C-alpha cells in the first residue's frame, strides 16, 4: 500500500515580489512627477508604461495588504510601531535633508513668510 505525502504550501513574506512591485510603482510615480513638473522628455515606451500603469493605486493596495500582515507577524503593537518608526524615520529625515539642501541651492529666494 502506497502512502501519499501531502504537499503543504506555505507563503513566506521574505520570498515574494511585493517589494519589486512597490519599487516599480514608486518609480513610475516619481517619473510621472518628473514629466509633469519638470517637462522632461522621456523615452516613449517608458512614458506609455507610466501613463497606463496605475502606480499609485498599486502602491497603496500593496502597502494596505502588507502593513496589516506585518502587524500580524509582530508579537505586540508596540513592537510593530517601533519597527515601523525605526524603518521609516531615518529615510524621512534623509529625504527632508536632501530636499532642504536642494531648495536652498536651487531656489534660495524662497521665503515661507512672504505675503503678497
**C-alpha cell belonging to residue 108:** 534660495
**C-alpha cell belonging to residue 51:** 501613463
Residues in contact with 46: Cβ distance below 8 Å, sequence separation at least 6, in sequence order: 31
- Whether 63 and 93 map to the same domain: the answer is no
Within 10 A of 112 (CB to CB), how many other CB atoms are there?
4
- Whether 79 and 67 map to the same domain: the answer is no
Residue 100: inside a domain, yes or no? yes
Asked if residue 60 has pLDDT above 70, the reply is yes
Model confidence pLDDT, tens digit, residues 12-53: 656 678 888 888 888 888 888 888 887 778 888 888 888 888
Helices 55-73 + 18-38 axis angle, to 10: 140
Q: In this structure, are residues 25 and 61 in contact, taking their beta carbons and an 8 Å threshold?
A: no
Residue 114: inside a domain, yes or no? no
- Whether 64 and 84 map to the same domain: the answer is no
pTM of the model as a whole: 0.59
Distance CA 28, CA 32 (A): 6
Residue 59: inside a domain, yes or no? yes
What is the pLDDT, as a whole number, of residue 82? 94
Residue 116: inside a domain, yes or no? no
Domain residues for 29? Answer: 17-73
- Whether 89 and 63 map to the same domain: the answer is no
Split into its structural domains, the chain has a count of 2
- Whether 21 and 64 map to the same domain: the answer is yes
Quickly state the pLDDT bin for 86 (edges 50, 70, 90).
Answer: very high
- Whether 21 and 69 map to the same domain: the answer is yes
Model confidence pLDDT, tens digit, residues 45-57: 888 888 888 888 9
Element (H, E) at 38: helix 18-38
Amino acid at each position: 500500500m502506497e502512502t501519499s505525502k501531502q504537499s503543504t504550501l506555505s507563503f513566506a513574506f521574505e520570498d515574494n515580489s511585493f517589494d519589486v512591485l512597490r519599487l516599480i510603482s514608486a518609480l513610475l510615480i516619481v517619473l510621472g512627477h518628473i514629466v509633469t513638473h519638470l517637462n522632461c522628455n522621456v523615452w516613449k515606451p517608458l512614458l506609455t508604461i507610466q501613463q497606463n500603469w496605475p502606480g499609485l493605486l498599486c502602491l497603496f493596495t500593496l502597502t494596505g495588504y502588507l502593513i496589516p500582515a506585518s502587524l500580524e507577524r509582530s508579537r505586540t503593537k508596540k513592537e510593530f510601531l517601533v519597527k515601523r518608526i525605526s524603518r521609516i524615520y531615518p529615510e524621512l529625515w534623509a529625504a527632508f535633508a536632501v530636499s532642504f539642501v536642494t531648495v536652498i541651492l536651487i531656489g534660495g529666494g524662497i521665503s515661507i513668510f512672504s505675503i503678497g
